[in-house]
Chain A
Amino acid sequence: MVRHYNLDGNQFLEAKTWVVILVLSILVAIILAGTITIFAYSQRMARLNRLQHEFINNFTHELKTPVTSLKLYLETFLKHNLSREEQIKYIGYMILDIERLAENISRILDLARIETKTYRGDFVLSDLVQTVQQFHQDNRHLFRSCDIRVHNPSGQPFLYPVNQPLFDMLLMNILNNAIKYNDSEKPSMDILFLLQKKKLHIRFEDNGIGIEKAERGKIFRKFYRAGQTENLSAKGSGLGLYLVRNVAKMHKGNVTAGNRQDERGAVFTLILPLHHQKA
């Protein structure tokens, strides 16, 4: 063909080769990028699927255990005449089981509410210090074992638009974790209000077991639970901190996790931009 049209074969072929190489390499690059994207995406999906499966397994366990206990004691009461003392003891167990069950149910409802964004209530400008103190006051009976102190060195109120039910959920989860992951004789929690660069930092410092460095980024993920996943014993839903982070985001803020410098314990910091109060 080259001879037929009397073309300079070398030049012509060289140019064509270049174009072919260019087009091919672009194609290869696109295919490669596509493959990598698909691969990364499927990996992500697989991970999420696995976590979801684990979550269902765990949550089933969390729901079935109190139900099993309740059924067992009720059937025992039907079958035997127990002494009043024994009855009172086992009724106490049953009440605890019902509390466990109620807590699990509200956890799952919270998740549904947040994911579908159908939570109740508006964002009302409130003083955060007071909100936290009020929450502590209202739920004192739940945190009897834990010493909770609120500190506000600046003395000033921090007004911020707050959705009360959501914010309570955030506080409840952080406080529950502080008690759950705690082996101190007397669990304690210090809540500090600090102003840093026009941002309000609310630090929740506990005296628990702390958080391993490798876990810090992961604990806010949905369904993630700290510790070994292969371990069949780990309890919990893996939802608490996922809810916390989402509530923080809905309040245009963020939440971070770390360990205390001064002593043993974890610290969760809720960071809220204060300029919102003027808006």
Chain B
Amino acid sequence: MEDSGRKRILIIEDDGHIAEGLKLNLSLQGYEADIAPDGVSGLRKWKTWQPHLLVLDIMLPGIDGFSILQSIRLEDERLPILILSARGSSEDRIQGLTYGVDDYLAKPFNLEEFLLRVERLLTRVSWAGVTGERGASGLHLLPKIYTFGGNRIDFSTSTAHVGSGKIALTEQEVKLLKLFISHRGRPLSRKQLLEIGWGYTGVVTTRTVDNFIVRLRRYFEKDPQKPVYFRSLRSVGYIFDHEE
């Protein structure tokens, strides 16, 4: 990751005027800013451009802001994210904070306040000094080792000890497992799984989800035909749960 010294800020905002105004101000402030007008391109740009901070709108075409937030948090717990939304009620703020947002500003906002919050968020990250090693430490909400049934998942090494022995987990498997664990006991729809887990939108590839569940069951279920942990919910999706 080459660094031009300037902090990169990604703006995911569908209103062209607001997005451009934000970019203008952030550039004048000395940051490098870029705009993504919808959720799918926002997630793609987050992966490829690796910004230091994310300014996120909630009401977006395609994947909405809360799903983007959850999707990013599965992989990167530390990236500072600031939500900028017309929805300013405490329910919305609480929902955002639950999903792991760092700051929440309601529209219309004060420009100076926005810029100061951005600066503050970036300063805090530079103290921690870990912007380079993203993903590796993205797990302070979940324990590094998670056990259920006879299975033990070690997220620090991306391995799992299951009934049939030790297996190495792919990045996507780790992501999906984190998503299920963080939603333990609550149903996840195929749409949610696709949007948060893969960053897809639309109905094209819900088969992808089903195939993936088959794989997880093969790993972790004693009898994959009669799953107890990764259960299907008719016309809803899937639910992950287990006894203590």
Chain A interface residues toward B at CB < 8 A = 57, 60-61, 64-69, 71-73, 75-76, 79-80, 90, 93, 96-97, 231-233
Contact = CB atoms under 8 A, between A and B. Distances in A.
Given A75-B110, A76-B24, A80-B28, A64 B14 contact: no
A235 to B, nearest CB: 9
**Shortest 8 CB-CB contacts between residues of A and residues of B:** A75-B111, A233-B61, A68-B108, A64-B86, A69-B17, A68-B107, A72-B21, A232-B64
B60 interface: yes
Of the candidates A57, A72, A79, the one having the most CB atoms from chain B within 10 angstroms of its own CB is: A72
Tell me if B's interface is mostly helix, strand, loop or mixed: loop
Nearest to A97: B17
Interface residues of B, number: 25
B111 A76 contact: yes
Contact of B59 (A61, A76, A93): A61
A232 B61 CA distance: 7
Given A65-B86, A72-B21, A233 B62 contact: yes
A232 B60 contact: yes
B38 to A, nearest CB: 8
A92 B110 CA distance: 21
A68 B109 contact: yes
A75 B17 CA distance: 14
A79 B109 contact: no
A96 B18 CA distance: 12
Contact of B21 (A60, A76, A96): A76
B86 A76 contact: no
Which of B21, B64, B65, B110 has most A Cβ within 10 Å?
B21
B64 A233 contact: yes
Contacts of B17: 66, 69, 72-73, 93, 96-97
A75 B18 CA distance: 12
Nearest to A58: B59
